[in-house]
Amino acid sequence: MIQLSDVAKRFALKGRSQDALAGVSLGIARGEIFGVIGPSGSGKSTLIRLINRLETPTRGTVEIDGADIGKLSQAQLSVLRHKLGMIFQSFGLLSSKTARQNVLFALQLAKKTITADDQRRVDDLLARVGLSEHADKYPAQLSGGQKQRVAIARALANAPDILLCDEATSALDPESTQGVLTLLAELNRDLGLTIVVVTHEMDVVRQICDRVAVLDAGRIAEVGSVAQVLFDPQSEAARALGRHLLPHAPVVAGATDTRLRLTYFGDVVTGDALSAATQGVNVRFSILAGQVSELKTGPYGHLIVDISGSDRERVIERLAASGVRVEALS
C-alpha cells in the first residue's frame, strides 16, 4: 500500500546540508501495523512526513496505492491527505474547542457543510475511543491519554485508509500508553486500517506491530518481523534497541560454558516443553534469567539457563525438537 523507493531527504541547516534520509526503500502492506524505530535523529519523523508529503523527497519516490504522490496536484494531494489520518506526540488539539469540536473540526476542513450525520459520526467516534462522557470537556480538562484518544478520533473523522502515528505514546504514562496501543490494535482489526507507528521504543513495536524497520543515521539497518528483529537481530542498531527488553544472565565469577539462551513462541510457551525435556535424564537445570510476554502474534518465552550433566546434549535435542530455539552463550 505504501512504497518508498530510494528515498533521500536533505535539509539545509545554517549554510550546511544534512541528510535526514539516505536512500530508503521500504514497502508497507495493506492492513498491517508497521513499526519504524530508531534513536533520535535517525530520520523516523522525516520518513513519516514524506508519506503524507509534508516533506518532499530530495530523491526517490513515495507511492500510495501505486500513485506517486510527488506528481499529485494540490487538489489531488488534498484528497489524499483526507485518507491519511495522523496523530502526534503533542496531540495537536485546539485548546479553545471541546473534544467534540476538535473532532468535528477535521470534518469542517474537508467539507463545506456539516450535516446531522456528521454530528452523529463525531459522537460515534468519541464512543469508539471511550470518551463519550468527556465529549464536552476542553483539552485542559483531559489527561494525556484522553487527549491522545481525542486526537485519534479526529484522525478517524474522514474515514482514512492509513493512520500515521509519530511518537504517539512518548508523552504518556505506562497505563495510558497501554490503553492507546490497545485502541490502535482494535482499529487495525476492526477497520482494516494500515497503521505506521514511528517510535524509539521497542516495547511499543513488540506489543502491536507485525513488522518493523530499524533506522540508523538515515538508512535502514534491517527490516523484518518483530520476532526476528527482536530475537535474532542482524544489525547492531537493532541489537541496541532491543537489548533492554531481553533478560541477561547474572555475572558470576568462574562461569562455565554450560549457559544457553532459549527462545520459544506460541503453543510452546503454554506447553510443557521445558519440563518434558528434563524428565528421566541426568542434568542440572537452572533458570538464571527470563521472561514470558506477548508479541502481537502471540506469547513468547525467553530464558537464560544453565544445563550441565551427562545428558546435557540429549536435553538440548529434546528442546530443539519441541520448537525451542537453543543458542550457546559464551
Go through the chain and tell me how many residues it has. Answer: 330
Picking from 251, 232, 322, the residue whose alpha carbon sits closest to that of residue 289 is 251
The rounded percent of the chain whose pLDDT value lies above 90 is 65
pLDDT digits (tens, 9 = 90+) for 283-305: 998 888 988 888 988 899 999 99
What per-residue confidence (pLDDT) applies to 247?
78
Question: Across the strands, what pairs with 327?
Answer: 261
CA-wise closest residue to 41 among 237, 239, 242 = 237
pTM given for the model: 0.88
Give the CATH superfamily of 2-243.
Answer: P-loop containing nucleotide triphosphate hydrolases (3.40.50.300)
Whether the predicted pLDDT of 49 surpasses 60:
yes
pLDDT tens across 83-141, in order?
899 998 888 899 999 999 999 999 998 887 889 999 999 999 999 999 999 999 999 99
Give domain limits for the chain. 2-243, 259-328
The CATH T-level fold of domain 259-328 is Alpha-Beta Plaits (3.30.70)
pLDDT of residue 330: 66
Q: pLDDT by residue (tens digit) across 251-277?
A: 665 556 788 999 999 889 988 888 899
pLDDT, position 252: 63
CA–CA separation, 288 vs 249, rounded Å?
6
